[in-house]
C-alpha cells in the first residue's frame, strides 16, 4: 500500500459500473487509502455464496476485507484457494479475526490456545499482516485473574505471530471498559502485554458506547492502535448500530487523528443491519469515500 504521506488519485469501483469518485478519491490532497470491510457484516451472504459476495464487495469499491470464522479454512476454502479468489477480485485481506479458545470443548482449531501455529501459517499464506483476537466469551473473563491470563497468552501468541512477520492485535467491545474487582480490564490488557507483540484494533462504536473518547485513547496508546472498526451509533436510547454517517459518532474528527493512533487499516462494520447487509455497507462506503478519506 502506498504511504499515506503520498498524495495520489484513486479509482473506485461501484456496482453500477466503475467511475471516478471525484469528490473523495480524486481530489488533490486526498491520500491513497484502501477502504476495508469486516466480512462478519455480510456473514449470511458469505455463508451462501462467498465467492459471489466477495465479487460484489469489490465492485462497491472496497479494496480490503477482514476475515472472520477461521476454522482451519476460510469460508470453506483452503488458504491457497481463498487467496486466489481474493486476487481475482483485486482484494487484499490484511487482517482476520480469531478467538481465544478457553471455552466449550476447547478444541476449536485456530484459536490462541489451540492450533494457533497453523492459523498463523494460513494467515501468512493469504497475505495477512494482522491477526486479531476478536472477543472473549463470558466464561473467559469472569475475573481480573482471567484477564491477566489472557494477557500472558496474548504475549505468547504475539511472539509466534512476530516470527511470521504478523502483528497480533486485540479487539475491544464495551465490557473491557467496565470496572471489575476495582480495576478496568482494558487497562490490564494494555499494561500486561508487550506493546511490540500486542497492539489494538479499536472498535470505535463500542468505545463510544462505553462512554470513552476514541481520540483520548489514541493519545493514551499512541502508535499502538493499528486497526479501527468504523461503524456508527444511531440517535436512540438503545444506541443501535447504523451505517457510517447516519449516526452520532464524530468520524471527521476521529479520522484527523489517524497518525496519533498509528492506524494502518480500517474496516467498515455493522454487527446488525436493519435490511440487506450489502446495502448497509454500500451506504457506509459512500460516506467514507465522500466525507472521511479527505481527513486522513
Q: Indicate whether 286 pLDDT > 90.
A: yes
Per the CB < 8 A criterion, the answer to whether 77 and 85 are in contact is yes
pLDDT tens digits, 249-284: 999 999 999 999 999 999 999 999 989 999 999 999
Instruction: Give the orientation angle of helix 116-126 with respect to helix 144-163, to 10 degrees.
Output: 50
CA atoms within 13 A on the CB side of 247: 25
Tell me the three state secondary structure of residue 212.
coil
Coil, helix or strand at residue 284 = helix
- Where is pLDDT greater, at 6 or 262? 262
Q: Which residue has the higher pLDDT, 274 or 33?
A: 274
Q: Is residue 32 very low, low, confident or very high in pLDDT (cuts 50, 70, 90)?
A: low
* Secondary structure (3-state) at 9: coil
How many whole angstroms from its chain centre is CA 139?
A: 24
Stated pTM of the model: 0.89
> Binning pLDDT at 50, 70 and 90, where does residue 177 land?
very high
Domains in the chain, ordered, with CATH? 36-295 (3.20.20.150)
Q: Going by C-beta distance under 8 Å and a sequence separation of 6 or more, which residues neighbour residue 184?
A: 176, 177, 178
**55-112: per-residue pLDDT in tens?**
999 999 999 999 999 999 999 999 999 999 999 999 999 999 999 999 988 888 999 9
Residue 158, judged by CB atoms within 10 A of its CB (0-12, 13-18, 19+), counts as buried
Contact 220, 191 (CB under 8 A): no
Amino acid at each position: 500500500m502506498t504511504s499515506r504521506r503520498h498524495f495520489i488519485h484513486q479509482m473506485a469501483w461501484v456496482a453500477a459500473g466503475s467511475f471516478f469518485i471525484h469528490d473523495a478519491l480524486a481530489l488533490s490532497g486526498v491520500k491513497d487509502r484502501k477502504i476495508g470491510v469486516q466480512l462478519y457484516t455480510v456473514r449470511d451472504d458469505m455463508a451462501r455464496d462467498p465467492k459471489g459476495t466477495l465479487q460484489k464487495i469489490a465492485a462497491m469499491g472496497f479494496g480490503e476485507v477482514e476475515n472472520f470464522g477461521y476454522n482451519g479454512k476460510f469460508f470453506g476454502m483452503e488458504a491457497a484457494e481463498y487467496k486466489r479468489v481474493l486476487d481475482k477480485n483485486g482484494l487484499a485481506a490484511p487482517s482476520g479475526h480469531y478467538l481465544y479458545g478457553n471455552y466449550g470443548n476447547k478444541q476449536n482449531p485456530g484459536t490462541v490456545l489451540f492450533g494457533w501455529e497453523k492459523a498463523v501459517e494460513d494467515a501468512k499464506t493469504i497475505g495477512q499482516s494482522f491477526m486479531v483476537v476478536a472477543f472473549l466469551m463470558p466464561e473467559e473473563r469472569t475475573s481480573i485473574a482471567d484477564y491477566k491470563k489472557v494477557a500472558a497468552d496474548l504475549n505468547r501468541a504475539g511472539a509466534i505471530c512476530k516470527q511470521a512477520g504478523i502483528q497480533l492485535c486485540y479487539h475491544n467491545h464495551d465490557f473491557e471498559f467496565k470496572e471489575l474487582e476495582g480495576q478496568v480490564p482494558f487497562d490490564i490488557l494494555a499494561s500486561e502485554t508487550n506493546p511490540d507483540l500486542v497492539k489494538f484494533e479499536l472498535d470505535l462504536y463500542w468505545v463510544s458506547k462505553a462512554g470513552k473518547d476514541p481520540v483520548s485513547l489514541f493519545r493514551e496508546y499512541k502508535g499502538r492502535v493499528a486497526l479501527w472498526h468504523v461503524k456508527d451509533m444511531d440517535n436512540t436510547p438503545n444506541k443501535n448500530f447504523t451505517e457510517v454517517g447516519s449516526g452520532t459518532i464524530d468520524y471527521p474528527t476521529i479520522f484527523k487523528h489517524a497518525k496519533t493512533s498509528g492506524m494502518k487499516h480500517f474496516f467498515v462494520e455493522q454487527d446488525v443491519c436493519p435490511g440487506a447487509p450489502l446495502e448497509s455497507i454500500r451506504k457506509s462506503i459512500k460516506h467514507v469515500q465522500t466525507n472521511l478519506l479527505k481527513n486522513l
